[in-house]
Amino acid sequence: MSHAIDIDLHREGPGGLETEEMTLNMGPQHPSTHGVLRFVVKADGEVMRRAIPDIGYLHRSIEKIAEKVGYHGFMPYTDRVDYVSAMQCNQGWAMACEKLAGIEVPRRGEYCRVIASEFGRIASHLISVGATGMDMGAITPFTHAIREREYINDILEELCGARLTFNYMRIGGCAWDLPPGFAKRAIAYLDRFEPLIDEYDELISFNKIYVERLANVAPITPERAISWNLVGPNLRGSGVRYDVRRDVPYSAYPEFEFDVPVGTGERGTLGDCYDRYMVRMREIRQSCRILRQALEGIPAGPVVAKVPRTFKPAPGAVHVRVEASRGDMGWFAVSDGTAFPVRVHIRTGSYAAMAAIEELSKGLMIADLVAVIASLDIVAPEVDR
Amino acid sequence: MGYFENIRESVRTIFEGMAITASHMVRKPYTVQYPDRIDVRVQDTLPFRYRGLLDVDLEICTGCLACERACPIDCIVIDAEKDKETREMVLKRFDIDLAKCMFCGLCSEPCPTGSIHHTPEFEGADYSLESMIRRFVKAPVVAYKPSKGPETNPEIAPILKRGLRYLDEFASPGGAS
Amino acid sequence: MQQLADRLIDTGFLQGLPRGLGYVIVVALFAFLMLNFIMLVAGVTSWLERRVWARIQSRIGPNRVGPQGSIQWLADGIKNIMKEDIVPSAADAPLFRFAPYLAMMGFFGAFAVVPFGDGLIVADINIGVLYVSAVTALVVVGILMAGWSSNNKWALLGGIRSAAQIISYEIPAALAVLTVVLFTGTLSMQGIIRAQGWAPWNWFLFHNPFTFVAFFLFFVSALAEGNRTPFDLPEAESELVAGAFTEYSGLRSLLFFLVEWGNLYLIGAICTTLFLGGWQVPAFTDSGLVLGLAQVLTFFLKAYFLVFVAMWVRGTLPRVRVDQLMTLCWKYLVPIAFVNMILAAFFAAILPNGSIFVKAGMCVFGLGLAVHFFQRVLFHLRRAKPELHLSPIV
């Protein structure tokens, strides 16, 4: 592990005073809600020179476990890859297996998947914006966001029986069909939820102090965002209109009408923390739009295709992309014809974002580091898997 | 933004924010004061599909070992062997280690009768790791043999009905909705 | 209070004692009473703060320990006292141990001039407000000492941020106070209250537009001095676990937190004295005792309303970053405070006794603001269509 921690001792400061760089440790246990992350911060007083991320505290060998449990058994483990938005991870693995074996998912199954994924996206973005608010010091938006997420958890509990690790999708479709009355309840929830987003916006998004904390902090130009492999709202916040649901369409998304919000530098520079935050707020509204279309237009039919109990796909390698809440999640699976995959690799958006932090943190203040981590929406389970 | 716009914007947004939080102060709180200050048991409000602690209805277990094979975390251990004289499956051991179980539901899906199923119970905390291993077989029992027509045994029929109802919740290929 | 001491020594139950000893005993007694009162108020404030936050956040606060959770603070206090007293091995032990007491001294000393009623004040010195400003500066020394002696870089950062913040915000606070003093001619606390009346239009808040602005300036600066959100960067939870107080546990950390909550009450008390008419009540009865009680109650309620507003603000606003904090103080608050004071000086020169028209105009303006506020609250309630629950104690 070679973190080149070069301490700049006895640097000549302004006025001829000798100054020394401080090395601080923003340790794995930290009262910030992003999980176990560690940063070694080299700071000159309040201003940082570098913030070196240290990862691996939440590594659970999920990719290796896939080689032991087989294709069907890996589905609950995919929930834990990003437990904040577990539905999309389920979908990614299911799509990878279906592509390996050439299985087609029935249309109703695709609609159920979209409904579940979009609810998961709203839930994940709620946590993200809430945690950003809390890191900035505003404690109430977080609790309001969690309150709304609890309602979504109730809806998804009705759908699949669990509130966090859903294990809803199977290879070939979904495990459970929509229960009776689900569409009515979900639409009633959406009717209740959309005015509350406006209220949330007015409480925090347009608050002058909040804007001042986030605007002009760590702007990422579109070229840098692409070269650093950022995806999802991080990329769209810099103005690059790339969304896997639109550009590499999968599942039932081509049938829905929705916008892809991008950052425009409305309150500061293009691609700053505020842009990324606003992209997430707008994506919540777009998800509500997709949900309404899906719930009203869902076709009849089966939700799952026939898949053998021992799943032995043809040998080959496949890579699929899913638009998870944190961006373009890549699922790579290699099969050799047996019931166990040879290799599974998950490419997550937070991993690249962690690497970007070291570059971004030069010249920022320590208080801004928290803003940057929050706005890049880094969750530790995704980084370490 | 100019100097005075900054001041005006600050005052306006802070005023607005304070109004929103003041409006929250008169709303009903969202808290459910579990476990003592609620009207009904939380377990009774949970949906039928809820994946709580596992339970096995040994009366309808056929000893097919499908759940043991499906479990991705190896928390189910079953000892079942075919008795040579009577040609029946005898279940000697059916242990589920709830400390390992990740409540994924993959075991209850392939069960032919719905014998292993999730219950709405979620309060399983205890002081010892030993109590997490649920041993469902007290003495060796004969496994259930599903009858050709509807089940006639009055003791087993309701259990089977519930088990099949649990299985009906799962989607099946080719099933219309 | 000296008359009370003299009376007690001459005719009361301290007869026969030498005068000096008698004074010392009386002062010690009052200090003890005041300390108990402040600690009680600080404790209850901590419970009330959690309830207020909880209602803002759509949840119920602590409501199990005692009726509606009202002795939660006592339980927390006892828990803190029973904790292990940890002094980090590399810390500067004497300074580490002394810092909380220094902060406590700075905060508690200010209560010697807080008026509870007409004549109910420990020492009505003629430089009352200036004394308060001076004594509360000891809190800075305490916090800085705590941050430095902890031998913890995060604590040091927190301590330095806090020191910079408090001494910067002394200036707009002092200027706002000066704006009021221009109209009273005296710095004494009782004198300032006596210059106001019991009715809202006789308060300094509505006396003229400049004192109105001075109220907000003072309130914001006082929040900054008390390390409250939106200026609580020294104890920012997401960055520095507890800022300057990270290494403290048990009774010492309890003292720091009591200083913070008690400071809220001090802010409320000073604001009430300067702007909200203090303990003034209309003379509705002849009985001195009942009038005295009414005065104490009025003062307490007014001060506590401002404490409630401070809690409410904490639940609403995010934190301001350090450089933005300094910008706010030096580029916005200080120039505004200066201009305000100069214009107020002109006003005082032109209309030395105030003007009923200006007062009435300001009252109407204040009323208009309150009405607009309620309109916005109703708008949000109507839009969200929630279930209402008007009881403050759920």
pLDDT in tens, A71-129: 999 999 999 998 898 999 999 999 999 999 999 999 999 999 999 999 999 999 999 99
How is residue A208 annotated by DSSP?
H
How far CA C327 is from CA of A6, B3, C331, C333, in Å, comes to: 33, 12, 5, 9
Q: Which residue out of B3, B25, B46, B104 would a mutagenesis test of the A interface target, given it has the greatest number of A Cβ atoms within 10 Å?
A: B104
The answer to whether the CB atoms of A137 and C236 lie below 8 A apart is yes
- The predicted pLDDT at position B175 comes to 57
pLDDT at B177: 41
φ, ψ at B91 (rounded to 5°): -95, 120
User: Beta strand pairing status for B76-82 and B89-97?
Assistant: antiparallel
Tell me the nearest-neighbour CA distance from A135 into chain C, angstroms. Answer: 5
Neighbours, chain B (3 or more CB pairs < 8 A): A, C
Q: Could you tell me which residue, A2 or A54, shows the higher pLDDT?
A: A54
Task: Report ipTM for this prediction.
Answer: 0.88
The residue ranges of DSSP E strands in C229-317, in sequence order, are none
CA distance A123 to A155: 11
Q: Do A165 and B30 touch (CB under 8 A)?
A: no
Residue C384, chain A, CB below 8 Å: the answer is: yes
A-B C-beta contacts closer than 8 Å: 109
Q: Could you tell me if residue B81 is left (phi over 0), alpha (psi between -120 and 50 degrees) or otherwise beta?
A: beta
How many folded domains does chain A comprise? 1
Structural element, H or E, at residue A241? none
**pTM of the model as a whole:** 0.90
Other CB atoms closer than 10 Å to residue C349's CB: what's the count? 9
In a domain, A274, yes or no: yes
Q: Is the pLDDT of residue C302 over 50?
A: yes
C93 vs A13, more confident: C93
Question: Do C380 and B20 make contact, defined as CB atoms within 8 angstroms?
Answer: yes
| Chain A, nearest residue to B71 by Cα | A73
More confident residue, C387 or C107: C107
Q: Do B173 and A306 touch (CB under 8 A)?
A: yes
Q: In a 3-state reduction of DSSP, which class is residue A55?
A: coil
**pLDDT classification of A6: cutoffs 50, 70, 90:** very low
Q: Report the gap between the CA of C324 and the closest CA in chain A (Å).
A: 8
Partner-chain contact C384 A196, CB within 8 Å: yes
Is residue A52 in a domain? Answer: no
Summarised one tens digit per residue, pLDDT across range C124-174 is 888 888 899 888 888 888 888 888 888 877 778 778 888 888 899 999 999
Distance from the Cα of B36 to chain C's closest Cα (Å) equals: 11
CATH of the domain at A288: 1.10.645.10
Q: Which 3 state secondary structure label does DSSP give A296?
A: helix
Which residue type is seen at C305? F
Tell me the β-bridge partners of A328. Answer: A323
Q: Is residue A69 part of a domain?
A: yes
Q: A354 in a domain, yes or no?
A: yes
Structural domain of A108: 62-384
CA distance C109 to C130: 13
Is residue A3 scored above 50 in pLDDT?
no
Q: Which of C57, C313, C381 sits opposite B23 (nearest CB)?
A: C381
Confidence of residue C389 (pLDDT cuts 50, 70, 90): low
pLDDT at B176: 47
pLDDT tens-digit readout, C249-285: 888 888 888 888 888 889 899 999 989 888 888 877 7
CA–CA min distance C130, chain A (Å): 31
